[in-house]
Amino acid sequence: MPPPPSDQEEHRVRRARPADDGDPVGPELAVELNAGWVAPSIARERVEGWLRAHRWPPAQVDELVLAVSEAVSNSVEHGYRVPPDALEPQETVDVRMRLTVAPDGFRQVEFVVSDRGHWREPHRAATSRGHGMLIMRSCTDELVVDGSPAGTTVVLRSRPTPPPR
């Protein structure tokens, strides 16, 4: 049995909503996180648990967890520009997960990470940072980034995977 969630986690996860049918491991899950520096680790835990519950291939689980974590980190760092010492930011990052099954039985998951922060174009100068987009692109089948003055939405789609055995 997993340990009970910490008080810290409960304050940082504002909302976790399963699919309409009430199944906590349903084909969709939405999580609203406080945009603090713990948000990426909570997102990793939620995404990993959801994927494992759907019996997703372990190698893809690791890649998708990394990609979503990077998207959430970007919202905190770049979208909201949360300082490292911020305790309880009021801003939120939304993470939505959706499983689809094609007629041939192959499955894909889509993750939508969105914030209402301030969009800015990525820097093009050479630096040791700035590899987030490359990481997200290499871990997924498709990456779409929509940035506007109203915030940023990142859509990550997994590679198709066969049905579980």
Enumerate the domain spans of the chain.
7-157
Assess whether pLDDT exceeds 50 at residue 7.
no
DSSP-derived secondary structure for 88-110: S-S-EEEEEEEEEE-TTS-EEEE
pTM of the model: 0.82
Contacts of 53 (CB under 8 A, 6+ apart): 25
What distance in Å separates the CA atoms of residue 20 and residue 34, rounded to the nearest whole number? 23
Q: What CATH code is assigned to 7-157?
A: 3.30.565.10
Assess whether pLDDT exceeds 70 at residue 113.
yes
Backbone angles phi, psi at 42, to 5 degrees: -65, -40
149 confidence band (pLDDT: 50, 70, 90): confident
Q: Dig out the tokens for 128 from the structure.
A: 């040791």
Assess whether pLDDT exceeds 80 at residue 119.
no
Give the lowest-confidence range in 17-31, 73-87, 107-121, 124-138.
17-31
**How high is the pLDDT of residue 1?**
45
Contacts of 6 (CB under 8 A, 6+ apart): none
Average pLDDT over residues 22-47: 88
Classify 32 as helix, strand or coil: strand
